[in-house]
Chain A
């Protein structure tokens, strides 16, 4: 635990960027749910069973079998984490001038698409951009938007449609099974692939089970496999749903894409039977995937997030609704209406929460959105602070402390001033940017 004076000093040294804080100065770490999960006793046992052979490790074959069984994809390429898979996939499928429609951008995903010469086009439904709209499936694709894009550019210019389950930047919002089926039908007609950003597919499946008509009788495991069946391949950061601290993969159903990926993974990641991971990490992933689709696990996981969200609502803290699967997204625009987006309200709020209680959160607004190719800032409609809940790490008492801190800052919100950016890196600026108080 730290004192207010210690936190003030730590925040200044970190340039008011929570990414630059030392984790020892953090009391409750809600920066991300990525790689921060607690592994199970079985996963730790798996860690001891690592086969560290460079080629043909038995852990690889176990992982391959689990991916086939749980997700149904035919060919597997492990990578050291999700962005490794995105890098390879983008380089293989995207040509200069291509268009990649998707249900809202994600930072690293869009960057890899752009670096490969493509352009991202948002096709998520308008409701997703409205933090107060309580539609249950705000991760859905607007099929009209997609159809228009196909008409305008032609199917040949669209190597794939990028579909995220549990849309992170929209607040962990799910896509419905019905919407997925409709996207599949439309893309099939035009011969366009669907690539699935599946890092939180189990959490999405849980919302389908709970909220979608006619789906309640299926298990999360069945729903996950069905979701995957409507897509042609996937990139996975196993650091989320799959309950590991490191690891990811690329999975595809097309042999040609697999073959090319297998050649490319050696250059960037490692041989295709380890992909830049220790054998033990593949084993932990294989076991974690099995655990991630257990109904009991997911119910407790999402239940905890909903508990925190409802507490915040009780305290009148403005949050994105409905409550998503992996965190609470506080609406900074509404929280700090006197701070314009050019003065980084979400970045400011994240710093204030830390100063109050030592709880570390993350900006998901104008800083994360970055700049367009022409140098202009993207100004996203959503200006959010993400309170991301690591899996199986914190208890209900921790959730209470977090909600109380948000409430305290909310009470003194009018006294809070905005910030200016004093250092801006070229790529993914939110990681390393530095700020000063106005």
Chain B
């Protein structure tokens, strides 16, 4: 494996033109793939070059130093092969001690700051009325402008509560794209979830600046068809996780807000990665280059009636979530359900110390040096892979790199789960743990027990926040490229045992020998 060298031409944080995306809008998006993704502009041509580059060196560094370290454990490829066999080719069944670089998720895996740890020590664990809650509440009010704040143990609990109240048979929840647990919670209530992603969001390898946008024409049409009274809620997921961590533009949020307002449909933001989305707005949307991120965030939430949040993403917390909203009556209904499954309204199933860590993390995440480093690191890995010809989703999103397993392993048919096969190969070759987002996770069976595959076969490599350094990322890219070079050796998989729901967590598989 090649060593880290500051003059390496692929240097991680060399913020030369490759950091700046050049987008060409075409009416026919498939043509865009033919155009250059990384047009080489000089750095000084960037609209806010003067804003944050004027004192900087070319190299973007991690805006922190490391106070406490956690060891990772090295194994040989042979040992990992045995571990993978024992785990039945399912990364969820591998012990984390046996993983070298864990890219399973960016959720709850962030490194907290020294300030957050200090907050942890200050947690007030009173069951009711803890000052830690009031600090948590104030941070969310200040950042989002939403006045009513309800803590939950994590994001899915926020969703569960909201949809139990608003959902029900015959109702439609409209969205740019609902995340899978969000959709599951909506469908569990008897309602239907309807995704309306913009045209450019449908092509994984075609670059465009705001591929998370909602299709407003489709939204208007849907409201006209079904009637606003059957649509209890519109949800904008920022950034759009299922669509590759792609951002939503402020313009789009504004338009969706206008349509919803005209029909009295409340608009909620699924806000897990709100700061990453705000950074993309700053980078890419005309008129925002000089707007501070907290102002962009404030404007983003000003169009919303409320939000759900998993604080395990853009609040650097290892646990926690919340609901925030304007409507007092709805908030009271939420609190009534909260006490059943979560906890009392001033702790919501969290320790007081976790409320402190979230309050601090929410402010830290809006630091522009952090966001620049964060987004750049994802882009850096994506670009390295593109340069090596590895099929990946484009452009780079905010929190993960998505490998296109169909393109990577064209010799493995979808019913042999190419995504899962690739996950296994990355683990054995380099100890990297990713996750399949394809037919294993989303595939269903028809009446003849034939697999109905998912639309895409992806492997997600989610980057935890503030955890890994450039050399870890270089290592990851090296492993992926080496696996790519011997991709023909990778074998498909067959299912030995599975459970009827959410099978990917516990499924057992074995390779199909050629």
Contact = CB atoms under 8 A, between A and B. Distances in A.
Interface string A16-51: 001111111110010110111000000000011011
A428 B73 CA distance: 48
Interface string B93-127: 11111110010110111100000000010011111
B351 A246 contact: yes
Contacts of A57: 96
Contact of B94 (A55, A245, A259, A268): A55
A215 interface: no
Given A53-B99, A246-B351, A428-B339, A21 B153 contact: no
Contacts of A50: 318
B336 A267 contact: no
A48 B70 CA distance: 10
Given A50-B318, A263-B501, A428 B105 contact: no
B505 A427 contact: no
Interface in A73-109: 80-81, 83-84, 87, 108
A270 interface: yes
B95 A58 contact: yes
Interface residues of A, number: 61
B339 A61 contact: no
B302 interface: no
Contact of A52 (B109, B154, B501): B109
Interface stretch (A277-285, A315-323, A376-384, A396-404): A277-285
B84 interface: no
Please report whether the interface of chain B is mostly helix, strand, loop or mixed according to DSSP: loop
B92 interface: yes
A272 B94 CA distance: 13
B335 interface: yes
B203 interface: no
A424 to B, nearest CB: 11
B157 A19 contact: no
A53 B505 contact: no
Given A19-B128, A19-B344, A55-B91, A263 B499 contact: yes
A427 B336 contact: yes
B361 interface: no
A270 B98 CA distance: 21
Given A53-B96, A56-B93, A280-B318, A245 B153 contact: no
Contacts of A35: 125, 127, 347, 351
Interface in B458-512: 499, 501-502, 505-506
B265 to A, nearest CB: 26
B156 A268 contact: yes
Contacts of B506: 262-263
A53 B104 contact: yes
Which of A24, A57, A111 counts the most B-chain CB atoms under 10 A from its CB? A24
Interface string A410-438: 00000000000000011110011000000
B337 interface: yes
A431 B126 contact: no
A115 interface: yes
B442 to A, nearest CB: 15
Contacts of A281: 319, 351
A278 B126 CA distance: 19
Contacts of B339: 425, 427-428, 431-432
Contact of B96 (A48, A51, A280, A425): A51
Interface string B119-147: 01001111111110010000000000000
A269 interface: yes
B251 interface: no
A80 B350 CA distance: 8
B391 interface: no
A278 B341 contact: no
Given A35-B351, A278-B318, A279-B318, A427 B102 contact: no
B97 A58 contact: yes
B130 A245 contact: no
A276 interface: yes
B314 interface: no
Nearest to A388: B127
Interface in A243-257: 245-246
Given A54-B109, A84-B341, A432 B335 contact: yes
Contact of A83 (B154, B332, B340): B340
Interface in B337-353: 337, 339-345, 347, 349-353
A19 B128 CA distance: 6
A175 B117 CA distance: 41
Which of A26, A55, A271, A278 counts the most B-chain CB atoms under 10 A from its CB? A55
B91 to A, nearest CB: 7
Contacts of B92: 55-56, 271
Interface in A123-151: none
Given A24-B131, A55-B91, A36 B109 contact: no
Contact of A20 (B94, B129, B342): B129
A143 to B, nearest CB: 32
B125 A36 contact: yes
B215 interface: no
B340 A272 contact: no
A29 B318 contact: no
Nearest to A84: B341
Nearest to B108: A52
Nearest to A29: B126
Contacts of B456: none
A266 interface: yes
A53 B464 CA distance: 10
A245 B123 contact: yes
Contacts of B336: 425-427, 432
Nearest to A393: B125
A61 B104 CA distance: 18
Contacts of B70: 51
Contact of A32 (B91, B127, B342, B501): B127
Interface of A: 18-26, 29, 31-32, 34-36, 47-48, 50-58, 61, 80-81, 83-84, 87, 108, 111-112, 115, 245-246, 259, 262-263, 266-272, 274, 276-281, 425-428, 431-432
11 contacts: A31-B126, A51-B70, A52-B108, A54-B105, A54-B107, A84-B341, A245-B352, A246-B351, A278-B318, A431-B344, A432-B339
Given A276-B349, A431-B345, 20 more contacts: A23-B126, A23-B129, A47-B120, A50-B318, A53-B104, A54-B105, A55-B104, A56-B93, A80-B350, A115-B340, A245-B125, A245-B351, A245-B352, A246-B351, A263-B499, A263-B501, A263-B505, A267-B156, A272-B505, A428-B340
The 7 closest A-B pairs by CB, nearest first: A23-B126, A53-B96, A278-B318, A80-B153, A22-B129, A246-B351, A245-B351
